Amino acid sequence: MPELPEVQTVVDTLAPTLVGRRLGAFLRLRRDMVSPSEVNLENLIPNRRVQAIWRRAKRIIFELDDGGRWFVHLGMSGRLTIEPEHAPVRKHTHLILDCGDGLQLRLVDPRRFGGIFWLGRGPVDERLGPEPFALRPQLLLRRLRLTRRPIKTALLDQRLIAGLGNIYADEALFEAKIHPATPADRISVASARRLNAAIKRVLRRALRSRGSSLRDYVDANGQPGDFRRLHRVYQRAGQQCVTCGATIQRIVIGQRSTHYCPRCQSATA
DNA sequence: GTCCATGTTCTTTA
DNA sequence: CTAAAGAACATGGA
C-alpha cells in the first residue's frame, strides 16, 4: 500500500498537529500490533511530548522529548489518522493514542501487516538502503551490482534502496525505458543514469499529488491521494502506452505484478 | 468458489 | 556457506 510518497504525505499531515503536543493514554485493542510485544508503550508514551516526526524508508518515526523513539509501518492496508475522539471507531482499529484537545491518533489496518515498533534510542537504519532522493547514478549502479535478480525485484528490496514499492518501481522503470526483467547487475551506466533521474521524477510527481490511493490509503486527515490517474503503466495492462500507443503488459516478476510497455521498455540493459 | 492486492519476513531450494 | 525463489501472514473486493 503505502510507499515513499504516501508515507511522506502522512508524515506531512501528522506533523503540524502532533509536533510539540503532549501525549495521553495509549490503548491497544490488539496486542499483536506492537513490537516487541512485551514493551510497555502504555507507560512509555503517555505524558511525553512529541519532539519530531519524520520518514525513513516506509517508516513513520516519532521522537519523544526524552529521546525515546518508535515507528509505525503501514504494511499493505494501514491508515494512520487523526480523528476527534467522538468520531466513530472504524472496523480494524487496533491502536488509539490520545493527543489532547479531544483528538486521537488511530491505526486502522485490516490485513494487519503493519504495526508499531518501539526503538528506544536504538538505530532506525539497520539494514535499510539509501533514500531515493540521496541517490546519485554511481551509488545506484553500485547498489544494483550487488544482485543478479531482475531490476524490478532489486528496486523493491529495501536493503538495496529504501522507499520504493510496486507502483513506483514500475513507474520508474517505464520512465527510464528499462525492461523490468533486466538483471540488476547488467544495467549499463547510461541506464543507471536514466533510472536515477526517473526515480526522483516519479516520486516528486507523486508527492505533488499526495500519493496514490488504490483502496485503503489516506493521509492523516483522511484525504486520499490523487496520483493514480497519472500512472503510466501501473494497473494499466491492456491499455495504450501514453508514449507509443503499444499495449501495456502485465507479467509477474518475483511474485509481484509488473506492468510495462513492451515497445518503450525493450532494451536489455 | 477464484484471483488479486501499495509489504515484509521466514523457509526452502539450488 | 550464500543467493535466489517460494511460502506465509490476514482481510476484503472484483
Would you say residue A269 has pLDDT above 80? Answer: no
- Nearest CA-CA partner of A228 in A185, A173, A168: A168
Q: Considering only CA atoms, which residue is closest to the C1' of nucleotide C11?
A: A111
pLDDT of A1: 65
**Per-residue pLDDT tens digits for A72-107:** 999 999 999 999 999 999 999 999 999 999 999 999
**Per-residue pLDDT tens digits for A189-203:** 999 999 999 999 999
pLDDT of A124: 87
A165 touches strand B (CB under 7 A): yes
**Per-residue pLDDT tens digits for A110-129:** 999 999 999 999 888 789 99
- Chain C: nucleotides below 7 Å from protein CB are 3-13
Average pLDDT, chain A: 97
A200 CA vs C4 C1’ separation (Å): 28
Contact A257, A250 (CB under 8 A): yes
A121 CA vs B2 C1’ separation (Å): 47
Q: Percent of chain A scored above 70 by pLDDT?
A: 99
- Residue A33 and residue A142: Cα distance in Å, rounded? 36
Residue A132 in grid coordinates: 531515493
A74 CA vs C7 C1’ separation (Å): 22
Burial of A189 (0-12, 13-18, 19+ CB in 10 A): exposed
Q: Percent of chain A scored above 90 by pLDDT?
A: 96
Contact A179, A266 (CB under 8 A): yes
Q: What is the pTM of this model?
A: 0.97
Would you say residue A229 has pLDDT above 70? Answer: yes
Would you say residue A268 has pLDDT above 70? Answer: no
- Residue A93 and residue A81: Cα distance in Å, rounded? 11
**Per-residue pLDDT tens digits for A240-260:** 999 999 999 999 999 999 999
- Nearest CA-CA partner of A217 in A29, A104, A111, A74: A74
Minimum CA–C1' distance nucleotide for A75: B7
Query: Residue A219 — very low, low, confident or very high, per pLDDT cuts 50/70/90?
Result: very high
Contact A147, A157 (CB under 8 A): yes
| Cis amide leading into A36 (omega within 30) | yes
Q: What SS3 state is found at A116?
A: strand
Contact A48, A66 (CB under 8 A): yes
**Per-residue pLDDT tens digits for A160-190:** 999 999 999 999 999 999 999 999 999 999 9
Q: What SS3 state is found at A216?
A: coil
Contact A53, A19 (CB under 8 A): yes
pLDDT of A123: 87
pLDDT of A125: 79
